[in-house]
Amino acid sequence: MEAKTLNRESWLSAAFSALAEGGVEQVRVELLAKRLKVTKGSFYWHFRDRMELVEAMLEGWKTGRIEAIKAQTRLDGRTPAEGLRYVLSLYGGSSNPRGIAIELAMRDWARRDPRASEIVAEVDRERLRCVSDLFAGLGLDPDDAFARAYLFYSFIFGEGLLARSAAPDRFEKARDICGKVLVPEGV
């Protein structure tokens, strides 16, 4: 199973893990090398420098996320409401900790790096567009649909920020109720 030799993808994958666990600051070539059980001699074979890795991460994340949201909101026989509940479930609760961690790390990164900020903006644009289309499919006018999408995504990301340990036993039920508020049953 273990590839004898590393490639760009190996380093990118390790970099995203480091990003998820510790933010951009933790994607350092010597730490990644230790994680991959090689020396940085390997890294500088596959990448010109750390910048190149970091930019590959941005680009890869962007295209990946945009593809993902398009696929996730393509309703093949589903109703818009079902589609929305599906998207919500993808990020809800503990169902995708790595994805959520990367998402949050990315956004923290974007707060101080204009390149990351631009990437996140592009992804958000696409996501808001896709999700507000679903809300529009529910019969909402464009402004309301956009606002709902805005609320939808703010909730999703904000949920990852709220300390789970603040009241662990009440969160599950709260999430259910929030789901009902976010994607109304009968509009």
Contact partner, 136, from DNA, its own copies, none, Cβ < 5-8 Å per class: none
Contact residues toward its own copies (CB under 8 A) are 21-23, 25, 101, 104-105, 107-108, 110-112, 117-118, 120-125, 128, 143-144, 146-148, 150-151, 153-159, 161-167, 170-171, 173-178, 181-182
Query: Which two tokens mark 181?
Result: 């508020």
Write b or e for each residue in 85-108: b if 16 or more Cβ atoms lie within 10 A of its Cβ, otherwise e: bebbeebbeeeeeeebbbbbbbbe
Least distance from C-beta 9 to its own copies, angstroms? 25
Closer residue to its own copies, CB minimum distance, 7 or 167: 167
Contact partner, 84, from DNA, its own copies, none, Cβ < 5-8 Å per class: none
Contact partner, 41, from its own copies, DNA, none, Cβ < 5-8 Å per class: DNA
**How many Å apart are CA 150 and CA 77, to the nearest integer?**
25
Closer residue to DNA, CB minimum distance, 57 or 84: 57
Instruction: Tell me the HSE value of 179 on the side-chain side, using a 13 A CA sphere.
Output: 19
**How many Å apart are CA 159 and CA 41, to the nearest integer?**
40
Least distance from C-beta 19 to DNA, angstroms? 13
If you search the block for the tokens 């958000």, which residue do you land on? 124
Contact residues toward DNA (CB under 7 A) are 4-7, 28-31, 33, 37-42, 44-46, 48-51
Integer CA distances (angstroms), 160 to 19, 87, 103, 178, in order: 16, 15, 9, 14
Closer residue to DNA, CB minimum distance, 43 or 135: 43
Contact partner, 29, from DNA, its own copies, none, Cβ < 5-8 Å per class: DNA
DSSP state of 25: G
Are 110 and 119 spatial neighbours (Cβ–Cβ below 8 Å)?
yes
